[in-house]
Structure 1
């Protein structure tokens, strides 16, 4: 074989991995090739939060960075207010959302969820001397929750007087000021807030809901959803998921039986 032919063959073979990566990348229905644009709040500890140096961190941030890395994509967080995320997903303003969104039948009608990536539930944060001992005691109480969240609906369903907040931190601060009697929020987030902010609060022992959370997508992105699910499954199988999230919450919150993505 002539030298030029050998060099040409070597060049073609050497370019195959990058060509394959580019082809896979183009099939992911991304807004911008090579970039995974992901909506996140940045104000929902321990899921997403700003550290003292200004950098984003949290459960969803760590998991999504690793997912993007495994897909050979640049991870680009897009800070978005909670009550705008569903609209943004449907309007294709970003590729997906990693915000800690409960997988519910109602939401599954409008958007597509990844397989459940974390399992938790709603619990009530209360002062330690509160008369609220369980969800059955919420009737007539002033209860805070994040606007447009499933927890806001649960407060109303239990007969509470609801006060909406842009984020959970604001609700908890209002309880510190004595303006509300309790806050319904994700139990993982509650535990982190109480510990991190050194609050004189506790949680009711019962759950008002038990739920899994999933990453959210606009309908019509089957390849991207499948790629995310595959990366998540591999991270759980090889132990990376546990290594990323355990330092933040102290245990492995991965669902033992994840809710699966519905067919598109």
Structure 2
């Protein structure tokens, strides 16, 4: 009986330890028990406000579940797009969940967790616009997020780029006729047009195909490893699909996620 009691006690201790929050040192966190995550909070359907005022969206749902799998408290940090990477390097948060494309240039500055969503750039225009494809952008004024891959694409197509700090501002400027088009993420564009009932349309062609990643400051291999495992588990057990399909109508998980590069 004595040995059974000891065995039960050890099992109970192990169970508590398994559920205990990871220490800051274990996962290279800024604060023990918390996963501090940078998000814009203004880019539907990736990040937005629910009717009750709480944060919602694809990245919010997925990252909240990641934190849960790591036994950490999801702690959002709202920040503008053009300050995201600066804040990460300054240790203002542990990870960026904001809708960031994985590019070779960005991989030199940060480590991305394995790709968590696949999408691409699409051109958004007014419903009666003569712009039908990327070939029609030359000489036009095109809106895009400042410092984004979409701004570079518009420039390469011969357009004059007008920079914005929020995608929603570019979409509204387009509705008002202040720009000829905007380039945005295909998922975000479709969601905005449908749910905001905007008199806009997307051209048929994609200007890019990309995967989005959660950005982490270089030198944190344990945090990267932990997030990658949580993401893989979420996809494998069907949780990812449950979190995303009701927002956009399909499962955007990459079939072949881009792998982390330290």
Q: Report how far residue 19 of structure 1 moved.
A: 3.5
Instruction: Give the deviation of 1:14 after TM superposition.
Output: 2.2
Name 2:59's counterpart in structure 1. 60
5+ long unaligned stretches in structure 1: none
Task: Give the Cα separation in 1 of the matches to 2:172 and 2:6.
Answer: 66
1:186 shift after superposition? 0.3
Distance 1:79 1:21 in 2: 28
Instruction: Name 2:15's counterpart in structure 1.
Output: 17
The answer as to whether partners of 2:21 and 2:33 remain within 8 angstroms in 1 is no
Counterpart in 1 of 2:168? 169
Q: What is aligned with 2:92?
A: 93
Task: Note the C-alpha offset of 1:20.
Answer: 4.9
> Which residue in 2 is equivalent to 1:36?
35
* Paired residue secondary structure (1:243): helix
1:88 CA drift (Å): 1.2
Report SS of the residue matched to 1:217: strand
Residue 16 of structure 1: how far off its partner (Å)? 2.6
CA contact (8 A) 2:118 2:211 kept: yes
The 5-angstrom pairing of residues 1-264 of structure 1 reads: 10-20=8-18, 22=20, 24-25=22-23, 26-262=25-261, 264=262
- The CA deviation at 1:24 is 4.5
* Mapped partners of 1:227, 1:94: distance in 2: 16
| Residue 83 (structure 1) shift | 0.5
| CA RMSD of superposed structures (Å) | 1.7
Contact 2:114 2:257 in 1 (8 A): yes
TM-score for both structures, normalised by structure 1: 0.94
| CA distance, structure 2, for counterparts of residue 103 and residue 148 of structure 1 | 14
**Cα distance in 1 between the residues matched to 2:34 and 2:189:** 32
Post-superposition offset of 1:6: 7.6
Q: How many residues align?
A: 261
Question: 1-side partners of 2:80 and 2:199: how far apart?
Answer: 28
In 1, Cα distance between equivalents of 2:120 and 2:211: 8
- The CA deviation at 1:23 is 8.2
| Offset of residue 157 of structure 1 | 1.1
Alpha-carbon spacing, 1:206–1:41, altered in 2? closer, same or farther (3 Å): same
The CA distance in 2 between the partners of 1:30 and 1:21, in whole Å, is 17
Q: TM-score, normalised by structure 2?
A: 0.95
Unaligned regions of 5+ residues in structure 2, if any?
none
Distance (Å, rounded) in 2 between the aligned partners of 1:21 and 1:219: 27
